[in-house]
Amino acid sequence: MHLSMPYPINPDRNVLWNAMPNLPIAEELFEDVAIYKQLGNAKAALGRLQGRSIAIPNQGLLINTISLQEAKASSAVENIFTTDDELYKAYSEQNVQQLNSSAKEILFYR
């Protein structure tokens, strides 16, 4: 399904804000049945995630996965490498002194 834009977008990088409407935008631009359907789908997915999160012993790990992966990728540029397994074990470890140096460096970078 292809949706047309209800306002013009100017791809010229020299034009400030690309002729986007001022905020707050007009209600007719966001009060739409298709948007409300997607909102309902998103709320249902979040509800399922909340229900399944009880089974996860360390919920912080799920939440912090994105920042851990970003820190791992950024550290690889500086020749600091570790595996996902080592990184998640390090994240769960209480004693920072027992960690290998690569995982410790990535955790501190995060």
> Which range has the worst mean pLDDT, 24-33, 42-51, 72-81?
24-33
Asked if the model's pLDDT at residue 2 lies above 60, the reply is no
User: What's the predicted TM-score (pTM) here?
Assistant: 0.47
DSSP the chain: --PPPSS-----TTSGGGGPPPSSPPGGGT--HHHHHHHHHHHHHHHHHHHHGGG-S-HHHHHHHHHHHHHHHHHHHTT----HHHHHHHHH-S-GGGS-HHHHHHHHH-
Tens-place pLDDT, residues 13-25: 777 766 666 778 7
pLDDT of 52 reads 86
